[in-house]
């Protein structure tokens, strides 16, 4: 590994280099890593530094240990999803857990789209019972109050059908995607490893005449997801 201007702690530098080798295919799924002593020599680092780097990559899902045999690259692809897609409950092992529902004053960026009073649905998405995404969906209170969107029960057909039944069919949406370090709630609820950023999607859904009827904030661990966008080139 070429020494440069990376100012991160040494174990993070080592983990970053190994992660890059895995993502490039130079360390393919199922391959065994060199021994700890070999890694110590290769990276000119202390044993404890190498162990911290390997632990970080295990927490992120890149590596796993085989008792008495060594450390191997995990054969586990990231969760590649269409960025535009909504998950249907029970689809491919995905389920939702409703955490909170209520009428709230939304965050400023949400209020700019749908106003100062909103109904919020806060949910946790699980994949095979593992937490993978937190979401906060906001609907204008004047539309959602007193409807299934404001209730704690399951909504048949989900929010798109509920909005359609209310006369506000979803026509299109705009996503803003960014990355940042997680909040405490995000880190704890999603069981994120240390030093892993989250992907944040800020989605505004529009109905007829460009009327915004939903704003969703979707937060997922950056180590687990790839967002796939698809468009037609004219």
Whole-number pLDDT of residue 186: 93
Whole-number pLDDT of residue 7: 81
Low-confidence ranges of the chain (pLDDT < 50): 87, 89
- What fold does the segment set 10-73 form as a domain? Arc Repressor Mutant, subunit A (1.10.10)
- Give the whole-angstrom CA distance, residue 133 versus residue 229: 18
List all residues 6 or more positions away from 231 whose beta carbon is below 8 Å from its beta carbon: none
Closest CA to 19 of 78, 67, 69: 78
Would you list the domain boundaries of the chain? 10-73, 79-228
Closest CA to 11 of 35, 42, 47: 47
- What fold does the segment set 79-228 form as a domain? Chorismate lyase (3.40.1410)
Whole-number pLDDT of residue 80: 62
- Give the whole-angstrom CA distance, residue 226 versus residue 132: 12
Under 8 Å between Cβ of 57 and 15: yes
The predicted model scores a pTM of 0.77
Whole-number pLDDT of residue 127: 86
């Amino acid at each position: 590994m070429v020494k440069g201007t990376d100012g991160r702690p040494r174990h993070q530098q080592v983990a970053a280099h190994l992660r890059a080798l895995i993502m490039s295919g130079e360390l393919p799924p199922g391959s065994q890593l060199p021994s700890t002593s070999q890694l110590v020599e290769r990276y000119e680092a202390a044993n404890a530094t190498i162990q911290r780097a390997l632990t970080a990559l295990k927490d992120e899902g890149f590596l796993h240990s085989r008792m008495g045999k060594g450390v191997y690259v995990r054969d586990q692809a990231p969760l590649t999803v269409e960025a535009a897609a909504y998950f249907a409950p029970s689809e491919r092992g995905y389920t939702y857990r409703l955490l909170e529902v209520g009428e709230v004053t939304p965050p400023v960026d949400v209020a700019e789209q749908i106003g100062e009073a909103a109904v919020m649905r806060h949910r946790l998405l699980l994949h095979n019972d593992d937490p993978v995404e937190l979401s906060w969906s906001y609907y204008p209170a004047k539309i959602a109050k007193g409807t299934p969107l404001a209730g704690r029960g399951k909504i048949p057909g989900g929010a798109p059908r509920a909005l359609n039944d209310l006369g506000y069919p979803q026509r299109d949406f705009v996503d803003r995607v960014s990355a940042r370090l997680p909040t405490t709630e995000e880190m704890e609820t999603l069981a994120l490893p240390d030093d892993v950023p989250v992907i944040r999607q800020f989605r505004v859904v529009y109905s007829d005449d460009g009327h915004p009827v939903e704003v969703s904030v979707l937060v997922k661990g950056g180590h687990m997801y790839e967002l796939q966008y698809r468009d037609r080139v004219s």
